[in-house]
Amino acid sequence: MRAYSKGRAVDFSLSEKTRTMLAMIDEFVTNELVPMEEAFLRQPFRELLPEIEKKREKVRQMELWAPGHPVECGGAGLGLVDLGLISEVLGRTPLGHFVFNCHAPDAGNIEILHLYGTDEQKERWLRPLVDGKIRSCFSMTEVERPGSNPVMMETTAVKDDDDYVINGQKWYTTSADGAAFAVVMAITNPEAPVHHRASMIIVPTDTPGFDLVRNINVMGHAGEDWASHAEILYHSCRVPQSNLLGPEGKGFVIAQERLGPGRIHHCMRWIGICNRAFDLMCSRAASRTIAPDRTLADKDVIQTWIAECAADIQAARLMVLNTAWKIEEFGWKEVREEISMIKFVTANTMQKIIDRALQVHGGLGMTDDTILAWFYRHERAARIYDGADEVHKLSLARRILRQYR
């Protein structure tokens, strides 16, 4: 299929290699991961890790490991469009990205370590992260500060001899439980212009003063290990200045480089969730008997929902793939409007599809007998993290209006 942008053809045709990879991943997700969901919904995550590691080893043997990470670090080095299509397939199950080692927050940390890490940092942290031997977390959001405005931050990192001493409180630090290190965003240059005050610093989680207070209850579930969100206190947490990631004062710029392309991964994962919820909705509608010789699928309102959902998924999917292509062609800074657009459009599309699917399932949809209730609980946050809907809409509208003023 082709679309056109700025006079240049957008080509979404796939190479034979990508087609083969997608078919292999789709089969693996269907046969190996979806059957694990019942245990995932009912058992503590750590109890599943031995079985998950067996699946990860199979992925390595199939040479599908770490599809988006740099080749020189042990990944497949795929571009954004191909990786987006893979993310769509993996998104059908909550276990997909983790098993293939292209999950948040590690994927974003791998990107910035590859771009900005020193040789020593890459050897100590990047390589074992890509190999799946360790995990990491990204510690930016704060309790009393707006998460959508990363220049407003209270956590500080003050130089003392050859060290930084970090003090502050972070929360919603995803996957901190069990992580080997955190990439912490903290104020290092308080007198500088607002966009040059913060820096990124690597903090090993066994450093004195790194205090994981709790895994936060999200919709009634605290989670554990990778499947969790933590509150962290940094209390006189001392790390060497050599742990600075990238130039001092460039934390905001690095965060934007991390979050921009990262929204492609998120959005295509959400499309995968849409596809899964849509399949469940259609199957349920076609099989649920409501009267002799009649199923839910015979109802006009259900047919209308199915048509609308199919169109919504297709529209959001093409919007995201088009944005991925533009980032590859022009760089993320030239595609800021599209990045904002796909973030709120895809998140809202996903929420609508999940809600419709749950409604078609009736009381069954409210239980953990299907994956829908898990999606409903945990993906509601998509309209909040990485910039709330309202922030992206305002940013987009202002950029558009500049052309008319």
- DSSP state, 216? P
pLDDT in tens, 100-121: 999 999 999 999 999 999 999 9
Quick one: tokens of 59? Answer: 């992925």
pLDDT in tens, 135-188: 999 999 998 887 667 778 999 999 999 999 999 999 999 999 999 999 999 999
Name the amino acid, one letter, at 83.
L
- Where is 232: in which H helix or E strand? strand 227-240
Nearest to 184 by CA among 195, 196, 168: 168
Q: H/E/C letters for each residue in 143-185?
A: CCCCCCCCCCCCCEEEEECCEEEEEEEEEEEECCCCCCEEEEE
pLDDT in tens, 268-282: 999 999 999 999 999
CA 298, CA 311: separation in Å to the nearest integer? 20
How confident is the model at residue 151, as a pLDDT? 76
Q: Which domains does the chain have, with CATH numbers?
A: 2-103 (1.10.540.10), 136-249 (2.40.110.10), 252-404 (1.20.140.10)
pLDDT category of residue 1 using cuts at 50, 70 and 90:
very low
Number of H helices, E strands in the chain: 13, 13
3-state class (DSSP) for residue 101? coil
Asked if pLDDT for residue 302 goes beyond 80, the answer is yes
pTM, full prediction: 0.94
Nearest to 175 by CA among 129, 221, 106: 106
How confident is the model at residue 8, as a pLDDT? 58
Q: Are strands 136-139 and 181-187 parallel, antiparallel or unpaired?
A: parallel
The overall average pLDDT reported for the chain is 93
How confident is the model at residue 4, as a pLDDT? 41
Quick one: tokens of 187? Answer: 């104020």
pLDDT in tens, 326-352: 998 998 888 989 999 999 999 999 999
Name the amino acid, one letter, at 321.
L
- Sequence-ordered list of residues with C-beta below 8 angstroms from that of 114, at least 6 positions apart, any chain: 69, 70, 73, 122, 126
Nearest to 272 by CA among 87, 107, 3: 87
Mean pLDDT of 194-199: 94
Mean pLDDT of 205-221: 95
Mean pLDDT of 67-95: 92
CA 192, CA 291: separation in Å to the nearest integer? 70
How confident is the model at residue 116, as a pLDDT? 96
